[in-house]
Structure 1
Amino acid sequence: MPNLRQIAEMLHADAEDFPEGGEIMGVASIEGALPSDAVFASDATALERATISAAGCILARLADAFLTEDPRVIPVKDPRFAFSVLAQKLSPAPQGHLHTTAVLGTNVSLGENVSIGAGTVIGDNVTIGDNTTIDARVVVYAGVEIGARVLIQSGAVVGSMGFGYACSASGEYIRFPQQGRLVIEDDVEIGANSTIDRGALEETRIGCGSKLDNLVHIGHNCILGKNVIIAAQTGISGSSVVEDGAILGGQVGIGEHATVGDHVILGGGAGVLSGKKLRGPNQIFWGRPAQPLKQYLRDLAKLRKL
């Protein structure tokens, strides 16, 4: 396990200024830290609490580090992010495991160190990349392509048929072909009981580094860019696009053929009408239907006056 100086090297701090210290074996909260733990201080108040804790390593903001001469303090640009990086580095290397109750179809391709949990079903012709973990009771439909270092939590269903129908003149509905594929790129995380539909004729794609919370639904033909964040109970209708770096709050609803631009933020409960395009970058929208934040707050203030 690394000592204080080695951690500084990992996090690209000036390692020559740090004593070796003891081994750091894990991460913890400030209140629960042991001498073998690292903690982070997001502000000066937290740093003061950290310095009287038992922690063996303290990650603090560059602007706060001068407030103390405690040799355990490592100055970093973003303590919370550095803490997360360190936690991953201290985690044991993944060990592949295939539970005896998991069911694999034919022509399934598994990379190195893949773990598949109890009761999970993997369909035919599925590809799973290195160091991917699929928890218990997950269903992966046929033909799904899953990248490396993906995490799919319990109860998720990926690659199911989308909700698409053709209607006759007499009002009868028949299913429109749902024969496309689903591609989940590297470093994606999918929360418990989330569902992602395969494409109808082409593909649904979840971009590299995107993170989906529990109970999220992604409809057929949707394209999510890189590093998209989606909170719980959000639903995205078919053929919509969410571009790189967008953040969707909880219970967001997006109609079909809509576009959420790059690095757009949608506040919790926001609704995006079908075909609507919310352009970025770095714009914030809120309300039903979603409006620019300033407009939404102005309308809300007017409503209160009525």
Structure 2
Amino acid sequence: MGETKKMQKRSKWQQTKLEMKKYRMSYVMIAPYFILFFLFTVLPVLASIGISFTDFNMLETPNFVGWRNYIKLLLDDDVFKKAFKNTIIFAVITGPLSYIMCFLFAWIINEFKGKLRAFLTLIFYAPSISGNAFMVWAIIISGDRYGYLNGWLMKWSFLYEPIQWMKTEKYVLPILIIVQLWLSLGTGFLTFIAGLQTVDKSLYEAGAMDGIKNRWQELWYITIPSMRPQLMFGAVMQITQSFAVADISINLAGNPSVNYSGATIVTHLIDYGSGTRYEMGYACAIATVLFALMVGTNQIVQKAIRRVGE
């Protein structure tokens, strides 16, 4: 039995060597990307996980503290609990809604042709790359009577005095969610536009012969299954975007926001990892929890997408 296993292992190794020789140019071509990915993505993630078990201020040698950072984070940090709750609310609302919005707008825009399609794509994509997006919303939700939202509501007698939108706790999170949705037509949206244009048109003719009667059936049984790779990539991008909310909160609500009503896991991470704290061990523990949360959610969503159209 032992000799048989050795023979099998040797045979597999020889087969692997032959395959490596056969595709050696492919390995050479992907080597630069793999090296960069390993150096700037894999290594930092592994280093962050390691540092999360230490007390490290970037000046002194890291001091191993075991699970102390995680115990403090999960049991004693009330701000993290609020930030975690806000992040989950963001992810549950903006993740699915932005994903559906990206696909539906891409599906509708794909029906147009040529320059009109390109123009509409630019119009919908522009907010996500605009450097002045926060400035626009800061004017809209300004807390004086010159803010567009206050001005409009007072003009139509819905209000009699201006509201300090981003200084009133109950309004902060809903406004941030609205802004996040407005900015969500980004990379995932472009991916869906590209994916829709690669669907084989002959599949629709074959589907019509097999009994598909309307556009919704075409969408479910042909379009969506044909662009599963783009759907997977779009899901990853939208999940990452919904969990990594920080700039919107910092620019509109400040950091810290009023009673931490706009705090997220990332703003909490920034608070400990920069500024005057530089508690890198604790910040890495926060980052590790966020990383685990995002990976777990991605796995669940990808399993669900694989079943779509079956």
With normalisation by structure 2, the TM-score equals 0.21
User: Larger strand proportion, structure 1 or 2?
Assistant: 1
User: Larger helix proportion, structure 1 or 2?
Assistant: 2
With normalisation by structure 1, the TM-score equals 0.21
Higher gyration radius (CA): 2
